[in-house]
Amino acid sequence: MSVNLQTPIDYLKGVGPSRADLLRSELGIQTYQDLLNLFPNRYIDRTRYYKINELQRNSAEVQIVGKITGFREVAQKRGKRLVADFRDDTGIMELVWFRGQKWIREQVKTGQTYVIFGKTNWFGGKFSMPHPEMELQKEHEANLRSAMQAIYPSTEKLANRGITNRIVTKIMQQLFLESKGRFVETLPDSVMKDLKLVSKSEAIFNIHFPKTPELLAKAQFRLKFEELFYIQLQLIIKNLIHKSKIKGFTFDKVGPYFNRFYKEHLPFDLTQAQKRVLKEIRHDLGTNAQMNRLLQGDVGSGKTIVAFMSMLMGLDNDFQCCLMAPTAILSVQHYQGLKELCEPLGISIALLTGSTKTSERKIIHENLENGNLQILIGTHAVLEDKVKFKNLGLAIIDEQHRFGVAQRSKLWRKNNLPPNVLVMTATPIPRTLAMSVYGDLDISIIDELPAGRKPIKTVHRFDNNRLKVFKFIKDEIALGRQIYVVYPLIQESENMDYKDLMDGYESISREFPMPKYQISIVHGKMKPADKDYEMERFVKGETQIMVATTVIEVGVNVPNASVMVIESSERFGLSQLHQLRGRVGRGAEQSYCILMTSRKLSEDSKTRLQTMVRSSDGFEIAEVDLKLRGPGDLMGTQQSGVLNLRIADVVKDKDILQEARHYAKNILNKDPSLAAPEHQVILNTYRQMSKYRNIWNYIS
């Protein structure tokens, strides 16, 4: 009979209540299954036994066979240490214990042959090994063991309470003895044969007790594939359920608004990427399932025009549309841009933000409810309960990572049916991460810039070149251009940031004196009205230089601004640098981004700066960022739970991830309910995972 892997860990021989409590609190191990999924961090080659005369002074981990010939206690500043002489047929060394001496004295016998393992030190003319792992030779030879010894994750508390790596290995051995190493297969034969995967039992055995590096590699591949396969399966099923159960509004015709705009009022030719994305959106809107699509496009790739044309499809089918942005500045900008496009078509559009006057609000609320208002642009103010639509058919959310899930669901409840949803982001998400985090959304990508856009020239300059940089800025202003100078904002030290900003502002004011030059300043300590006033002056061209913290990162559009100077740019993350650079290069003139740093740079900072100078491709930059920062940091706290992977790594294992998604997609395309006999194994595993507390339940 096979062991039930959901058995609490307390019942495993050699664990007991107090060890079980520690394993639970420190490593989250509740059951036999959790212990089995405690995968090693690394492995040590235990095939080799050293002689004492072969030891090198490099403090490596070694194992030696020999006998203890005697003990002695040595006084030290605090208490005593226990020292034993250990010899083999080539020489003698010392074993040292600073704690647990009574136990060693009672348990370890002189004259018997032991296998010791640990790190060696060279001290006072001889080798010593503090707190060695020790096993009688006959026990060592009888144990279930492998050439590559697994080293498990641990914590300080576990080490202090005596749960060493050796103890964890011992209880792991016990689990294998009780289960006879037989584990239920979780993947179908077709996938196993196709990818030449080892069985589940073989993989689990070789991940904990690998006989050779080759067997270990096969075990790792199999288990990584399995983990990623079931995550992808979960996300794709979620998407299919969404499409089959959540009905949306069907936009079954493309009518006069869309056609007239396309033929008569389109301000520029669409790129091939924009046309492709519009087709994908149009296909979604034509089905009766709710659209749930993520639109990714680099800064300046023309997402807004795609969003507007999607709204026109809504209006052609007699629905209202809304566009929600995270900041007032951004929503005003969207409103001004779209109002120009709406006027020749006679479309009614309004703006709703926190600062909209009460009298105006009333009119907006009435016109939304009676259907006279066709498009609403706004901030979080759109989510207020008072805001009710007559028939909201399409909701577009810009920079969607700035809105929480609860906020988005408020929008859904403004209708009897949820509106179609398009979420947009200018923060490129690497493909691998998008597949893991947004795998339940359909994804569209605009991956080319409109014609006539000149790539921004990016250079890195050290602080001692500042005078040359100032000279360059003066030349650009003489040509009628405007300049951004941005300082980092690091939340923990707001006073320091403020000082940096004010020092910078003063040195720029000295270099660019009034009345010849006008300077705007914007930072987090200002009142919103003052911020808007300063921004407005810059947008109108009344000031030539904007000195700011990162508040300008998202969405400010000043086509005349051609230079972005980023101070202390080593203190910014890659995606932030890329977003800031995207504030220039919006006009027809050549634009520049100047990255200023001190001479002292870490390796990571150098990589970031070199990447910025070399590439303007947001997706390539996002991939480098992912390698530097890891997935948890990149997604922020709200989604990092998705990526608590046990063995796979979305960065290093992206090829396996793509393969896993491919197989999961194919299987569900052929057999969406997993009813075929050969898919029973997937269905059973999937049900088990949903039933027990596992990573799969954390997927956002």
| Residues β-bridged to residue 292 | 421
pLDDT tens-digit readout, 503-557: 888 889 999 998 899 999 888 778 878 888 888 888 889 999 998 876 664 556 7
Which amino acid is located at 690 in the chain?
A: S
Residue 182 inside a domain? The answer is no
Same-domain status, 410 and 538: no
Residue 167 lies in a domain: no
Q: What is the pLDDT of residue 697?
A: 36
User: 191 in a domain, yes or no?
Assistant: no
Question: Quick check: is 668 in a domain?
Answer: no
* pTM score, whole prediction: 0.65
Which of 118, 144, 170 delimits the end of a domain?
Answer: 144
Q: Are residues 469 and 409 in the same domain?
A: no
CB contact set of 668 (below 8 Å; sequence gap of 6+)? 233, 236, 237, 240, 674
Residues 468 and 610 in one domain: yes
Q: Identify whether residues 498 and 404 lie together within a single domain.
A: no
Distance between first and last Cα of the chain: 37
| Boundary-marking domain end, from 425, 448, 475 | 425
Among residues 90, 115, 144, the one where a domain terminates is 144
My answer on whether 346 and 494 are in the same domain is no
Residues 370 and 491 in one domain: no
Whether 564 and 473 share a structural domain: yes
Q: What is the largest CA-CA distance in the chain?
A: 99
Tell me: do 352 and 480 sit in the same domain.
no
Give the CATH number of the domain where residue 76 resides: 2.40.50.140
- Token pair 């096979």 is at which residue? 2
Count: domains in the chain: 3
Chain centroid to Cα 305, Å, comes to 28
Distance CA 623, CA 621 (A): 5
| 275 and 129 co-located in one domain | no
Tell whether 349 is covered by a domain: yes
Residue 401 confidence (pLDDT): 56
Cis peptide before 515 (omega within 30 of 0): yes
Q: Looking at residue 371, which CATH number applies to its domain?
A: 3.40.50.300
Q: Are 359 and 486 in the same domain?
A: no
| pLDDT per residue as tens digits for the range 58-116 | 767 888 999 999 999 998 888 889 999 999 999 999 999 988 888 888 889 899 999 99
CB 419 within 8 A of CB 248: yes
Both 519 and 606 in one domain: the answer is yes
Which residues of the chain register pLDDT less than 50? 1, 490-492, 553, 633-642, 693-700
Domain membership flag for residue 18: no
**Residues 503, 580: one domain?**
yes
**Domain assignment of residue 529, given as a range:** 457-615
Distance CA 133, CA 120 (A): 12
User: Where on the phi/psi map is residue 298: left (φ > 0), alpha (ψ -120 to 50), or beta?
Assistant: beta
Residue 450 lies in a domain: no
Residue 555 forms part of a structural domain: yes
